[in-house]
Structure 1
Amino acid sequence: MDQPAYAAAALYAALNALILMWLTLATALVRRRHMVLIGDGGVAHLGRAMRGHANAIENIPVMLVLLGFAAALGAPAVAIHVLGAAFTFGRVVHAWHFTHERAAQWQRAIGFGLSVATLAAAALDVLGHAIILLFIQA
């Protein structure tokens, strides 16, 4: 068992959980400000905050599962750090874009780009490790 790789995966799990908490609180604050309990109430800023939170919920768990499997399948800690740090930075930039009523489009583009690129890299890494272990080393 490669403790540093697991520790790296755990680090990014914790950091991304904090991002989710930030998005949850940001959405709750907009809800409170506009007194909207369910849905977006036609409030554009609330719809934006909800979409940013939903996007994080759609992407973060998949990446964390991939990082955990990468560590379990023998990926070095440095690979987990590279993927985890790039993904987490992308999620922070993306969250920043969605928590503000008006934000620069480059934030969304950078956040999306880093998230998708690192998800793809992690998926290919795990796929490669799994194929090697299942078919080549069997």
Structure 2
Amino acid sequence: MLITPIYAGILALFYLLLSVRVVQKRFTGISLGDGGNESMQRRIRAHANFAEYVPLLLIMIGMLELGRFPVLTIHILGSLLVLARVLHGYALAYTPNWAAGRKYGAALTFGLLLVCGIMCIYLGLTASASVI
């Protein structure tokens, strides 16, 4: 059973919600850009921020899964990614000012980048050593 696709699917559904939030606001007469509207700015940034971080993290988690890291490790990383992006995305796109959601969501995302980055380097170095 592959695990990463489960988290990719969950994150895709949340990304769809963030996308719909942008489109909904477009129906208020903002056809391009943010129109100087703070709510639209927040929705656009939540959508874009998600697109900036999630793909790389999913790729790293997928590589770790293919590198046979423990199933529990993959579930922890995937769950934390979902939590991080929901906290950040909800705080930014759905609330006018929920600083804690943005702060903890961003902190979790940065922590995952660090941990997954180190784990991927380890995987690459140990896999390379076993081939030689």
Q: Do both proteins adopt the same fold according to a TM-score greater than 0.5, normalized to the shorter chain?
A: yes
Gaps of 5+ in 1: none
Closer, same or farther: CA 93–101 of 1 in aligned 2, 3 Å = closer
Write the distance in 1 (CA, Å) between the matches of 2:25 and 2:92: 12
Write the distance in 1 (CA, Å) between the matches of 2:6 and 2:115: 19
How many residues are paired up? 132
Closer, same or farther: CA 89–101 of 1 in aligned 2, 3 Å = closer
Range with greater deviation from structure 2 (95-104 or 67-76) = 95-104
Write the distance in 2 (CA, Å) between the matches of 1:104 and 1:20: 19
**Structure 1 stretches (4+) deviating beyond 6 angstroms?**
none
- Sequence identity of aligned pairs in percent? 23
TM-score, length of structure 1 as denominator length: 0.90
Structure 2 partner of 1:36? 30
1:25 maps to which of 12, 20, 24? 20
Structure 2 partner of 1:89? 83
Alignment root-mean-square deviation, CA: 1.2
Structure 2 partner of 1:113? 107
Gaps of 5+ in 2: none
1:129 maps to which of 112, 123, 127? 123
Report the Cα offset of residue 101 of structure 1. 4.6
